[in-house]
Amino acid sequence: MKKKHKFATLAVHAGQEPCLLTGALVPPLYQTASFAFESANQGAARFAGEEKGYIYSRLGNPTINALEEKVAILEGGESALATASGMAAISTVLFGLLKKGDHMLADNTLYGCTLSLLNHVIPKYGIEVSYVDASDPDNISGAVRENTKLFYFESPANPTMKIVDMHAVAQIARSNKLITIIDGSFTSPYLQRPLEQGIDLVVHSATKYICGHGDVIGGIIVGNKKNIGDIKSGVFTDIGGIMSPFDAWLLLRGLKTLPLRMEKHCSNAMKVAQYLEAHPKVNEVYYPGLSSFPQHELAKKQMDGFGGMLSFEMKGGIQAGERLINNVGLFRVAVSLGEADSLIQHPATMTHSFVSGEERMKAGISDGLVRMSVGIEDAEDLLADLEQALMKI
Ligand SMILES: Cc1ncc(COP(=O)(O)O)c(C=O)c1O
């Protein structure tokens, strides 16, 4: 697929050609573990890399490859690697790039399980992790050590929506020889393409907007051929956290409507954010699209839209937040995000409950913070649901 096409065209067509055997327009689902060889010689040639072709689905599968090609094109990357979950993508990247004795830097506002991986798993392998507040990118230069290999961050960050200046981070990383990795789960490639801004690798929880329907757990890593090739041959094939072909097939299906879904998520979230901001029972609303959001200008500069995620604090703190959560109807009380359905959750006791109170405070996650993933329902119905719930507080 030619890169000259626009995003919505690529979302439909990239990574797929009619099946050579049957003409099937939709990429077939190759739900198979093995691929038969015509002879012992052919099997040996495939293993030796002398002949192209499939061997075994952990090493490569046509349905998974089609997804990898589509997402690589949408992100403006050369290559991609699909994984069993977002956490599999994150751990694969880190284990693929780091070794004993290395140090890595990360922004201090991250998804709870990512913080848990960095605090409890990575250090067991002799790798040091330290944190900075990258809302000021100069903090990164100040924390670089001789053995620092990479900088890892989210933007917008989960759940405070903090924005990190990707262009500035890429420049600082280049002058310090650091590899940069962003978790792009909150935006999908439709709203932000970090590789174009100089970031080296993008990881996604494909469970979120890439899927869009809440029926797959998956992940994907995108970058240049060398980085993805090194990660694949260096650790991924042996660790083995691959995506199932059926999940790849569902994601290929979901991606065709990514632009339509993202537009609706953005417009609904803006309406919900404006409604909450004007409500007398709500204290603060964190949504990059609001002009009151401290990094609104930066978000405008580096994003093509502000997304479907927002968080806020009620005037009555945690008790008021709990009452709101217990009284909504259309908003489902559930973690995850990026689905057609609107979801609401309480980070301190749910997604970020694995993080200590002290670390949560450093990341700006107050006990009263409530997070919403605004879905693609009718905005008026969502506002009416919030109105009736807020009346009960
Ligand atoms: C920002 C972010 N990154 C990564 C993950 C992990 O993704 P998964 O649940 O697909 O492993 C999540 C999950 O909620 C997330 O919110």
pLDDT, one tens digit for every residue, the chain (393 residues): 556 899 999 999 999 999 999 999 999 999 999 999 999 999 999 999 999 999 999 999 999 999 999 999 999 999 999 999 999 999 999 999 999 999 999 999 999 999 999 999 999 999 999 999 999 999 999 999 999 999 999 999 999 999 999 999 999 999 999 999 999 999 999 999 999 999 999 999 999 999 999 999 999 999 999 999 999 999 999 999 999 999 999 999 999 999 999 999 999 999 999 999 999 999 999 999 999 999 999 999 999 999 999 999 999 988 999 999 999 999 999 999 999 999 999 999 998 998 888 989 888 899 889 999 999 999 999 999 999 999 999
Q: Which of 105, 84, 110 is nearest to 94 (CA)?
A: 105
**pLDDT 10s digits, 116-175:** 999 999 999 999 999 999 999 999 999 999 999 999 999 999 999 999 999 999 999 999
Q: How far is the CA of 55 from the centre of ligand 1 (A)?
A: 30
User: Considering Cα of 227, then 230, then 234, then 237, what sign does the dihedral take?
Assistant: positive
For the chain, helix (H) and strand (E) counts, in that order, are 16, 12
Nearest CA to ligand 1 atom 15: 111
Q: Which of 59, 113, 57 is nearest to 89 (CA)?
A: 113
154: left (phi over 0), alpha (psi -120 to 50) or beta: beta
Contacts of 232 (CB under 8 A, 6+ apart): 81
137 upstream amide cis, omega within 30 of 0 = no
Indicate the residue type of 322: E
Task: Spell out the domains of the chain, with CATH numbers in brackets.
Answer: 7-255 (3.40.640.10), 258-391 (3.90.1150.10)
- 41: phi then psi, degrees, rounded to nearest 5: -60, -40
| Ligand 1 proximity of 86 Cβ (cutoff 6 Å) | yes
Q: Which residues are catalytic?
A: 58, 111, 183, 208
Provide the whole-model pTM.
Answer: 0.97
Pocket test for ligand 1, best of 118, 158, 339 (most atoms within 8 A of CB): 158
Q: How far is the CA of 149 from the centre of ligand 1 (A)?
A: 23
Nearest CA to ligand 1 atom 10: 86
